[in-house]
């Protein structure tokens, strides 16, 4: 059987993931060239029901134009649809906090995350809880310094682990600010401690900082805490 989740890219230079059930696929984020997305789909958009976008930063939505041209539906927060002028597109679906969306046989529940722009202003950002009867429940969370919701009954978790608080101590305050809109290892651990992970089979750490992410350490510490197989999202990783 084919894997459920495929990582095409993860991090501040671009994000794209594919969830596949056999017959249906969903593209999660389109922050890389459309050509690379197509390659990840084996050059066929057959069975692709749509694309989910978390927020307006280009590492998450660089290919929005081609995605709108080629895929049947695009689910995104209002801020993304307004910024790139898609409010009159019949393909757009406005994602709102805790409003379920049916797309193919997927049921997608968006939820609010906490993220800021480089000037410190708030950036509308959504996580997605994705259910499909063939593959179970997948949680997708990125670019959030904190998560106010608790989750349970999740089979596969994809969650940001950007940096560790002790490695950014040495940076200047203005450099540290960039990290403050992202999830640290320490906050992630505190968050996971409060969740019921009984049915969780895999955890994939995504959006690591290129210079301040420590893949081996993050994987080890999350595995030690949860006892669940943990992966680092790099191009080509397949999970599930
Ligand atoms: Zn990002
Ligand atoms: Zn961002």
Which CATH number fits the domain that encloses residue 199?
3.60.15.10
Nearest ligand to the CA of 117 is 2
Distance between CA 203 and CA 32 in Å, rounded?
Answer: 23
Among 152, 155, 153, 130, which residue's Cα sits nearest to residue 141?
130
148-190 pLDDT, tens per residue? 999 999 999 999 999 999 888 888 888 888 888 999 999 999 9
Q: Which domain holds residue 86?
A: 5-233
Q: Is residue 239 part of a domain?
A: no
Return the structure tokens found at 61. Answer: 């939505």
Q: Is residue 220 part of a domain?
A: yes
Number of alpha helices (DSSP H) and beta strands (DSSP E) in the chain: 8, 14
Going from the Cα of 57 to the center of ligand 2, the distance in angstroms, rounded, reads 5
Going from the Cα of 94 to the center of ligand 1, the distance in angstroms, rounded, reads 20
197-208 pLDDT, tens per residue? 999 999 999 999
Q: Does residue 208 contact residue 10 with C-beta atoms inside 8 Å?
A: yes
Q: Is residue 166 part of a domain?
A: yes
Q: At what angle do helices 185-193 and 215-226 cross, to 10 degrees?
A: 10
Going from the Cα of 181 to the center of ligand 1, the distance in angstroms, rounded, reads 10
Average pLDDT rounded to a whole number, residues 22-31: 96
Q: Is residue 240 part of a domain?
A: no
Nearest ligand to the CA of 162 is 1
Nearest ligand to the CA of 15 is 1
Going from the Cα of 9 to the center of ligand 2, the distance in angstroms, rounded, reads 14
Q: Is residue 81 part of a domain?
A: yes
The total domain count for the chain is 1
Q: How many C-beta atoms lie closer than 10 Å to residue 112's C-beta?
A: 17
Residue 130 pLDDT class (50, 70, 90 cuts):
very high
Q: Is residue 14 part of a domain?
A: yes
Nearest ligand to the CA of 206 is 1
Going from the Cα of 60 to the center of ligand 1, the distance in angstroms, rounded, reads 6
Q: Is residue 208 part of a domain?
A: yes
Q: What does the pLDDT read at residue 50?
A: 98
Return the structure tokens found at 102. Answer: 């049916």
Q: Is residue 165 part of a domain?
A: yes
Going from the Cα of 134 to the center of ligand 2, the distance in angstroms, rounded, reads 31
């Amino acid at each position: 059987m084919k894997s459920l989740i495929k990582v095409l890219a993860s991090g501040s230079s671009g994000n794209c993931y594919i969830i596949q059930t056999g017959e249906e696929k969903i593209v999660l984020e389109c922050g890389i060239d459309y050509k690379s997305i197509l390659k990840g789909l084996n050059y066929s958009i057959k069975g692709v029901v749509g694309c989910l976008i978390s927020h307006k930063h280009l590492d998450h939505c660089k290919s929005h134009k081609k995605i709108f041209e080629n895929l049947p539906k695009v689910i995104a927060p209002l801020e993304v649809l307004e910024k790139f002028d898609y409010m009159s597109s019949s393909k757009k679906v406005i994602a709102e906090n805790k409003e379920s969306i049916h797309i193919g046989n997927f049921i997608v529940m968006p939820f609010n995350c906490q993220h800021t722009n480089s000037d410190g202003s708030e950036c509308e950002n959504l996580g997605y809880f994705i259910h499909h009867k063939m593959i179970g429940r997948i949680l997708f969370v990125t670019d959030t310094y904190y998560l106010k919701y608790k989750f349970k009954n999740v089979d596969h978790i994809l969650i940001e682990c950007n940096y560790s608080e002790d490695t950014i101590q040495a940076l200047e305050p203005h450099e540290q600010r960039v990290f403050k809109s992202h999830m640290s290892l320490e906050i992630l651990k505190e968050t996971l401690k409060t969740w019921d992970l009984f049915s969780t089979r895999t955890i994939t750490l995504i959006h690591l900082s290129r210079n301040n992410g420590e893949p081996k350490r993050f994987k080890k510490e999350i595995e030690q805490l949860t006892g669940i197989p943990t992966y680092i999202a790099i191009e080509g990783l397949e999970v599930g």
